[in-house]
Amino acid sequence: MHTEKRGRFEVELSARQLIHNGGWAAFAAIRTLAAAADDPAAVFPRQRVVDETVFASEAAAIAGAREAALAFLRSGNSPGVGAS
């Protein structure tokens, strides 16, 4: 699991190896920094991202998770994104 701070958000990236084919699935969660410290409620709960994509390596899955999480933050879907 990898954790990155992006502005006022904490992005958690992870990968799981798939038993049936040996590939990797990408997962992400996003919390506000205040919520990460005080409340486990996430802005974007941990879930598989890049659905149906099977990555060749753990590193590739983490990169896919990062790309999906950052796209979510850029889209403005989460509460307070873009607010000053």
The pLDDT tens digits of the residues spanning 11-65 come to 999 999 999 999 999 999 998 887 555 565 578 889 999 888 999 999 999 999 9
Within a domain: residue 28? yes
Within a domain: residue 80? no
DSSP character for 7?
T
Within a domain: residue 57? yes
Structural domain total, the chain: 1
Q: Which structure tokens are listed for 30?
A: 């996003």
Instruction: Check residue 7 and give its pLDDT.
Output: 84
Within a domain: residue 83? no
Give the global pTM. 0.80
Q: Tell me the residue range of the domain where 58 lies.
A: 2-75
Does 82 have pLDDT greater than 90?
Answer: no
- Partnered with residue 27 across adjacent β-strands are 14, 48
CATH number of the domain to which 15 belongs: 3.30.160
Type of residue found at 33: L
